[in-house]
């Protein structure tokens, strides 16, 4: 069956169709108001009709709903005395020493918070029972408030979920209900409550969206990419939308790790720069997961790929503050109107416009295959920005825009490498995304990296990652015991229970038992610490020793304290051979660029033998790569670009 990966981004919606070993690509301008419109247009452009094909989709619908406040009206139910939980949070402040901080509206409206009984202690003792009067009061409140969704977050529900279950069963079936013991059965009531509220408040939005998309696809199977790097059914996605928040970046990592392994570079730092944001991650042999990810300012404790995301992309807006200082982002021009050069009415300079003015995006090319560049409008907009900055040289202004956005992205690269005890000089940068190839040289040079791999079809690598991703499930259980309290038999039984739950879900989706495989890991810390490190789980003794070694490597020291096992985690996936993405597209005939300040080559003009030195631009369908001075470029054995730094 033909498989098409669909990645909905802030600026473009990317498509990667794999059909009998051939790869067909397409980019469609995103339609944020109704994302399915761009998907429908793109599938039609690829010639996909009623014949058999399968769609794997990564969506920003849930993420955007949270960040933009377009969520369903959600009632938050918690224990008596904890109604301010979601307002207080962790009492973190953006500016620690600012005595007059800017007011931020609480994520959860206090008028939509209901306190009730059903409180238990950490040992499972009932401290405040859930009475029939409590259940009736909840029903009465729902009748008055008329919410679209309900989030239930009772203390220590992961130890004993019965009170959450009683409340859930009392609510009418047409209301979307999320229980914290199902969404995130772990310690930390704020993080668990936040994940439960996000799941509930985005549930009706995601369900309506997927229903519309499935109605168009008719009989075509639809799978959804999760933040953890595996796919799931639409049935699971509609009840667990909190697991989809980083689906696009996760797919990018899947595609990048595949390219890295096939090309013989298992240690890479990925640099995925799109139109709205940039995602970076360190991959040392395999992709790592974290339970400490964030969406905007909010910590979301569900498993997701470990990466750093910042609001810097090709569409990031350049602006001047009251003191005359140049800034870039985090605001973005988005898909509409987009950059000034897009002929769509944009008036404010973006990073893409800076690359156009500098000739790194040559006049005459069509971005995404169909967007022409408006050079005259770009120059006029730069003249206005030049006036605001008091700098008459437009090229210097454009270089300033590039330098500012590069500095922002450099900080993210340092966070995933230097700040975690990783020497970036020992890694290869793997650059992709619509804008990754335009900025990779400057960033690699700034952080000391000597080699860059730019994959064939790098502009749609996230969509390719979706097309090759496998189904799977991720589960966790709070343990909370010190090392001398460990019972290996009990822990093994807990791991098996989670595996059987994943097996049940995947068998329900139509997969066979013989296809399944699983891995277990543990969140571990020294007693008294608040943060954990995740390590593969074998036996308690072996895992604890591995924790001490990793702690010393990461932080430079060990502690003379007891070790605590906080959570156990199990991944259940379909076994599958890593697909080889060495798929060559037909060479693209490019127009002549004799009037540009930089030499322009087509991807197929390069070879394995001869290397070319910068500055020059290499073009391919869906990707533009700028090779700076002191860098050389050639092809590797898989037709990817291999850039190397020349110190002389």
Q: What pLDDT, on the 0 to 100 scale, is given for residue 75? A: 97
| Confidence band for 588, pLDDT divided at 50, 70 and 90 | very low
Q: What pLDDT, on the 0 to 100 scale, is given for residue 582? A: 46
Phi, psi (5° rounding) for residue 305?
-60, 145
Question: 161-206, pLDDT tens digit by residue?
Answer: 999 999 999 999 999 999 999 999 998 899 999 999 999 999 999 9
Q: Report the chain's mean pLDDT, rounded to a whole number.
A: 88
> In a 10 Å sphere around its CB, with 0-12 CB exposed, 13-18 middle and 19+ buried, how is residue 58 labelled?
buried
Helix H, strand E, coil C: the string for 109-161 is CHHHEEEECCEECCCCCEEECCCHHHHHHHHHHHHHHCCCEEEEECCCCCCCC
- Residues belonging to the chain: 648
Question: 419-430, pLDDT tens digit by residue?
Answer: 888 999 999 999
Question: 288-318, pLDDT tens digit by residue?
Answer: 888 888 877 788 888 899 888 888 889 899 9
Q: Is the pLDDT of residue 581 over 50?
A: no
Q: What pLDDT, on the 0 to 100 scale, is given for residue 379? A: 94
Instruction: Name the token pair of 319.
Output: 């602006």
What DSSP string describes 400-416? HHHHHHHHHHHHHHHHH
Q: What pLDDT, on the 0 to 100 scale, is given for residue 344? A: 81
Q: Is the pLDDT of residue 593 over 80?
A: no
| Confidence band for 577, pLDDT divided at 50, 70 and 90 | low
Q: What pLDDT, on the 0 to 100 scale, is given for residue 578? A: 52
Give the span between the Cα atoms of 380 and 384, in whole angstroms.
7
Q: What pLDDT, on the 0 to 100 scale, is given for residue 595? A: 55
| Confidence band for 267, pLDDT divided at 50, 70 and 90 | very high
Calculate what percentage of the chain has a pLDDT beyond 70. Answer: 95
Give the span between the Cα atoms of 432 and 459, in whole angstroms.
6
Question: 143-153, pLDDT tens digit by residue?
Answer: 999 999 999 99
Question: 500-518, pLDDT tens digit by residue?
Answer: 999 998 998 888 898 899 9
Q: Is the pLDDT of residue 27 over 60?
A: yes
| Domains contained in the chain, CATH given | 2-66+207-247 (3.30.420.40), 70-206 (3.40.50), 252-470+577-648 (no CATH), 478-493+510-574 (no CATH)
Please list the residues that pair with 623 across neighbouring strands.
620
User: How far is residue 469 CA from its own chain's centroid?
Assistant: 15
Q: Is the pLDDT of residue 470 over 70?
A: yes
Q: What pLDDT, on the 0 to 100 scale, is given for residue 50? A: 61
| Confidence band for 368, pLDDT divided at 50, 70 and 90 | low
Question: 234-266, pLDDT tens digit by residue?
Answer: 999 999 999 998 888 899 998 898 889 888 998
Instruction: Name the token pair of 604.
Output: 């197929």
Phi, psi (5° rounding) for residue 353?
-60, -40
Q: Is the pLDDT of residue 580 over 70?
A: no
Give the span between the Cα atoms of 110 and 202, in whole angstroms.
18
For the ranges 25-29, 191-195, 437-441, which has the lowest average pLDDT? 25-29
| Confidence band for 579, pLDDT divided at 50, 70 and 90 | low
Q: Is the pLDDT of residue 630 over 80?
A: yes
DSSP summary character for residue 366: -
Q: What pLDDT, on the 0 to 100 scale, is given for residue 209? A: 92
């Amino acid at each position: 069956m033909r498989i098409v990966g669909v990645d909905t981004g802030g600026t473009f919606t990317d498509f990667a169709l794999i059909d009998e070993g051939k790869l067909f690509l397409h980019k469609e301008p995103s339609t944020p108001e109704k994302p399915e419109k761009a998907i429908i247009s793109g599938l039609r452009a690829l010639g996909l009709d009623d014949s058999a094909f399968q769609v794997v989709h990564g969506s920003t619908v849930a993420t955007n709903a949270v960040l933009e406040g377009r969520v369903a009206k959600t009632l938050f139910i918690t224990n008596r005395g904890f109604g301010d939980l979601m307002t207080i949070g962790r009492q973190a402040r953006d500016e620690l020493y600012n005595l007059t901080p800017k007011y931020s509206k609480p994520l959860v409206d206090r008028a939509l918070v209901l306190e009730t009984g059903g409180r238990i202690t950490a040992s499972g003792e009932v401290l405040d029972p859930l009475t029939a009067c409590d259940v009736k009061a909840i029903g009465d409140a729902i009748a008055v408030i008329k919410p679209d969704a309900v989030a239930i977050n009772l203390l220590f529900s992961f130890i004993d979920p019965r009170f959450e279950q009683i409340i859930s069963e009392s609510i009418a079936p047409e209301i979307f209900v999320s229980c914290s013991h199902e969404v995130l059965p772990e310690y930390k009531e704020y993080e668990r409550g936040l994940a439960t509220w996000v799941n509930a408040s985005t549930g009706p939005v995601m369900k309506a969206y997927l229903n519309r998309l499935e109605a168009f696809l008719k009989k075509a199977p639809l799978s959804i990419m999760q933040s953890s790097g595996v796919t799931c059914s639409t049935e699971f996605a509609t009840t667990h939308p909190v697991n989809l928040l980083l689906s696009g970046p996760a797919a990018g990592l899947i595609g990048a790790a595949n390219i890295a392994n096939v090309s013989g570079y298992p240690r890479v730092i990925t640099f995925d720069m799109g139109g709205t944001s940039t995602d970076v991650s360190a991959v040392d042999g395999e992709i790592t997961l974290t339970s400490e990810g964030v969406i905007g300012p909010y910590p979301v404790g569900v498993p997701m790929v470990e990466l750093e995301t910042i609001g810097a992309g090709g569409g990031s807006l350049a602006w001047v503050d009251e003191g005359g200082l140049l800034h870039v982002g985090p605001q973005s021009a988005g898909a509409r109107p987009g950059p000034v050069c897009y002929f769509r009415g944009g008036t404010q300079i973006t990073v893409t416009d800076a690359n156009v003015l500098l000739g790194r995006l040559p006049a005459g090319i069509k971005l995404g295959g169909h967007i022409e560049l408006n050079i005259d409008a770009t120059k006029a907009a730069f003249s206005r920005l030049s006036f605001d900055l008091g700098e008459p040289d437009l090229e210097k202004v454009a270089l300033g825009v590039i330098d500012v956005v590069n500095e922002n992205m450099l900080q993210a690269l340092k966070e995933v490498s230097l700040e975690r005890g990783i020497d970036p000089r020992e890694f290869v940068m793997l650059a992709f995304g619509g804008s990754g190839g335009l900025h990779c040289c400057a960033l690699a040079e700034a952080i000391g990296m000597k080699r860059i791999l730019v994959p064939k079809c790098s502009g749609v690598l996230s969509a390719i990652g979706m097309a090759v991703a496998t189904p799977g499930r991720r589960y966790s259980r709070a343990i909370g015991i010190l090392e001398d309290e460990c019972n290996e038999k009990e822990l093994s039984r807990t791991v098996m229970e989670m595996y059987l739950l994943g097996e049940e879900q995947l068998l329900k989706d139509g997969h066979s038992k013989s296809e399944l495989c699983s891995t277990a890991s543990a969140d571990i810390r020294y007693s008294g610490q608040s943060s954990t490190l995740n390590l593969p789980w074998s036996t308690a003794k072996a895992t604890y020793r591995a924790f001490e070694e990793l702690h010393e490597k990461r932080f430079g020291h060990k502690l003379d304290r007891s070790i605590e096992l906080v959570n156990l985690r199990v991944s259940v996936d379909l076994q599958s051979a890593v697909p080889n993405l060495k798929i060559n597209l037909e060479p693209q005939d490019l127009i002549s660029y004799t009037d540009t300040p930089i030499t322009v080559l087509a991807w197929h003009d390069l070879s394995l033998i001869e290397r070319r030195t910068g500055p020059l631009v290499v073009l391919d369908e869906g990707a533009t790569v700028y090779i700076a001075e002191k860098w050389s470029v050639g092809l590797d054995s898989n037709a990817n670009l291999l850039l190397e730094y020349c110190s002389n």
